[in-house]
Amino acid sequence: MDEVEPVAIVNRSPVVAQMPPPPVDDWVSRLRDDVHRHEATRELHQLMLRAARHQIARMPEGRDLGWARREEIVHAAADEATSSVLSRLGRFEGRSRFTTWAYKFAILQTAVEVRRSAWRQRETDLEALGEPVSDATGPEAYAESSDLTRAMREAIDHALTDHQRHVAIALLVEGVPIDVLAERLGSTRNSLYKTLHDARVRLRDDLTTRGYLGFATSEEAVS
Amino acid sequence: MNERARGLTPAAAERLLVDPGPYLSCDDCFEQVDARVEALLSGASEPLTPEFRGHLVGCAACLDEAWSLAELAAQDAGVDRASVRARFEQALEPDRRPLA
């Protein structure tokens, strides 16, 4: 058998060396280019660090975490965001600047971890959050009650499912961040937001029917 | 006393009563947020769709992250922070106020 000439194997180095480098702002090309990938990835990581630091600095929850923990979160988020961006390069469609598109991954990673870290030590009896609220007694409850608030309590108890009540009270009354609640319930941010959306529609419909609101959700009017 | 009842302040009731508008998931919000934010910064007349605006007003986490992204993108575009805030608040109005 004749030896096969390795025509498919080409020494690309001289060719690559003759080609002009991609423009500095052509992130996708640089991150895919054999020659420029390493430097571009390093720059991307710096970009992700910047976004992570920006996000953690604007979150009140981050201030009590301590410098070391904040730095840990920033670097972990930047690492994770860099990986996320690199694995999704094919999905970048140029609808925004590459940097704006990439920032959002670092912002998300940082925000989620700060919320979870801030709530890690807080005890919240999530199991009790599905209890009825309209049978409340005590001066504070009555002092805060307008007709609408009293009607709201009734609607929460009668118009919502147990799960909707649990999620709505945790997120909007107790102030549990959605990422924290998702983690503790073994759920997802998407799923909890859908539950909250449906709960709000039910509450508005109930209060509209009973004459407390002038209009229900705008969902039907728009879609 | 029931702790949930104590927490059901008028502010909490207002958060519960936010008009959520047409449904948009958090994942879809994330997919769109970079383009929407840049539309906002460019001064587009209708930068946010009803679905996107409704989601931001109804989801405090997505609102915070979108706002943060807008600040960063504004720095790159040379837009000052006060202008970003003004544009954001204007885009979320007139029908709703943000949660955070």
Per DSSP, the residues of B36-69 read: HHHHHHTT-SS-S-HHHHHHHHH-HHHHHHHHHH
- What percentage of chain A's residues is helix, strand, coil (to nearest 5)? 65, 0, 35
Stated pTM of the model: 0.83
pLDDT tens-place string over residues B13-38: 888 999 888 999 999 999 999 999 99
Q: What is the pLDDT of residue B85?
A: 85
Q: Where are the domains of chain B?
A: 20-92
- What is the domain class of A126-222 according to CATH? mainly alpha
* Cβ pair B21:A222 closer than 8 A: yes
CATH 1.10.10.10 domain extents, chain A? 126-222
pLDDT tens-place string over residues B66-97: 999 999 999 998 888 888 888 888 888 755 54
Q: Which two tokens stand for residue A160?
A: 């919502």
Residue A124 half-sphere exposure, CB side, CA atoms within 13 Å? 22
Interchain CB contacts (distance < 8 Å): A and B: 169
Q: Mean pLDDT across the stretch A11-34?
A: 68
Q: Is the pLDDT of residue A53 over 70?
A: yes
Q: Compute how many other C-beta atoms are within 10 angstroms of the C-beta atom of residue A63.
A: 12
Q: What is the pLDDT of residue B2?
A: 41
Residues of B in contact with A194 (CB under 8 A): 23, 25
What's the rounded Cα separation, in Å, for the pair B54 and B33? Answer: 13
Instruction: Single out the residue of A173, A75, A56, A168 nearest to residue A118, CA to CA.
Output: A56
Predicted complex ipTM exceeds 0.90: no
Residues of B in contact with A118 (CB under 8 A): none
B8 contact A CB<8A: yes
pLDDT tens-place string over residues A129-157: 555 555 454 555 454 456 777 888 899 99
User: What are the phi and psi torsion angles at A127 (to 5°)?
Assistant: -65, -30
pLDDT tens-place string over residues A170-219: 999 889 999 999 999 999 999 999 999 999 999 999 999 999 887 666 65
The answer to whether B91 touches B49, Cβ cutoff 8 Å, is no
Q: How far is CA A75 from CA A37, A112, B72, in A?
A: 21, 14, 18
